[in-house]
Structure 1
Amino acid sequence: MTEINERRKLDRRGFLAAAGLTAAGAALAAVGGEAFAATRPTTRPAALPAAAAGGFAVPVDTVRHTRTWMAWPDSSAIWGRQLAGVQSNIALIAKTVAKYEPVVMCANPAAASKARSACGPAVTVITSIPVDDCWMRDSGPVFRTNGAGGLDAVGLNFNGWGNQQTHAKDSLVAGRVAAYASVPFSTAGFIGEGGAVETDGAGTLMATRSSILNPDRNPNRTQAQVEAAMCAAFGASKVIWFQGVLGRDITDDHVDATSRFLSPGQGTVQMPLPGDNDAWSKDARQQYQILSTSTTAQGGPISVTKLQGPDYDLIRSGDPNFVAAYANYYVCNGAVISSQFGDSRADAAAKSTLQRLFPGRTVEQLNTDSLGAGGGGIHCVTQQQPVP
Structure 2
Amino acid sequence: MPLQWDHTPLTSEYLLPAEWANQSAIMLTWPHRQTDWADHLAEVDQVYLAISRQVTRFQRLLIVCQNERHHKLISGKLAAAGIAPERLHFAIAPSNDSWARDHAPLTCIGEKGALLLDFQFNGWGGKYPAELDTRINQQLFRAGVFAATEQRSVPLVLEGGAVETDGLGTLLATRSSVLTRSRNPDLTADQVESILSQQLGFDRFLWLEHGHLSGDDTDGHIDTLARFADPATILYATATAEDPDYPELEAMAAELRAFRQRDGQPYRLIALPPIPPILSKQGDRLPAGYANFLIINGAVLLPVYNIPQDAAAIRALQACFPQREIIPIDCLPLIRQNGSLHCITMQFPAQVTLSPAEASLPA
TM-score by length of 2: 0.86
1:205 aligns to what? 171
Shift of 1:168: 2.2
| Structure 1 gap segments, 5+ residues each | 1-41
CA contact (8 A) 1:86 1:370 kept: yes
- Superposed CA deviations along residues 168-210 of structure 1, whole A, max 9, x for unmatched, are 2210223344552132122335311000111111111011121
CA contact (8 A) 2:277 2:285 kept: no
- Superposed CA deviations along residues 204-242 of structure 1, whole A, max 9, x for unmatched, are 101112111221101143221112222222211121111
- Give the alignment partner of residue 166 of structure 1, picking from 121, 125, 129: 129
- Give the alignment partner of residue 242 of structure 1, picking from 179, 189, 208: 208
SS at 1:156's partner residue? strand
Matching residue's letter, 1:349:
A
- Return the alpha-carbon distance in structure 2 between the equivalents of residues 361 and 246 of structure 1: 28
Matched residues, number: 341
- Superposed CA deviations along residues 221-279 of structure 1, whole A, max 9, x for unmatched, are 32211122222222111211112459964311111001001222221111112332x2x
Residue 343 (1) aligns with residue 307 (2): yes
Equivalence map 1:291-306=2 (5 Å): 291-297=256-262, 299-306=264-271
Change (3 A) 1:95 1:49: farther
- Superposed CA deviations along residues 299-352 of structure 1, whole A, max 9, x for unmatched, are 543221111122237x998862422111100000100001111222x1110000
Greater helix content: 1
- Superposed CA deviations along residues 45-76 of structure 1, whole A, max 9, x for unmatched, are x5354322122111110011011111111134
CA contact (8 A) 1:140 1:177 kept: no
1:66 aligns to what? 24
1:152 aligns to what? 115
Equivalence map 1:4-15=2 (5 Å): none
Q: Say which is worse superposed, 287-296 or 363-372, in terms of deviation.
A: 287-296
- Give the alignment partner of residue 139 of structure 1, picking from 100, 103, 110: 103
- Give the alignment partner of residue 145 of structure 2, picking from 180, 185, 206: 180
| Structure 2 gap segments, 5+ residues each | 352-363
CA contact (8 A) 2:24 2:348 kept: yes
Change (3 A) 1:246 1:335: closer
- Aligned-pair identity in percent equals 26
TM-score by length of 1: 0.81
Matching residue's letter, 2:241:
P
SS at 1:131's partner residue? coil
Residue 111 (1) aligns with residue 111 (2): no
Shift of 1:287: 2.1
1:190 aligns to what? 156
1:310 aligns to what? 275
- Return the alpha-carbon distance in structure 1 between the equivalents of residues 342 and 76 of structure 2: 23
Greater strand content: 2
- Return the alpha-carbon distance in structure 2 between the equivalents of residues 327 and 337 of structure 1: 11
Shift of 1:113: 1.9
- Superposed CA deviations along residues 84-106 of structure 1, whole A, max 9, x for unmatched, are 32222222212221111111111
Q: Say which is worse superposed, 361-370 or 257-266, in terms of deviation.
A: 257-266
Residue 128 (1) aligns with residue 92 (2): yes
Residue 385 (1) aligns with residue 330 (2): no
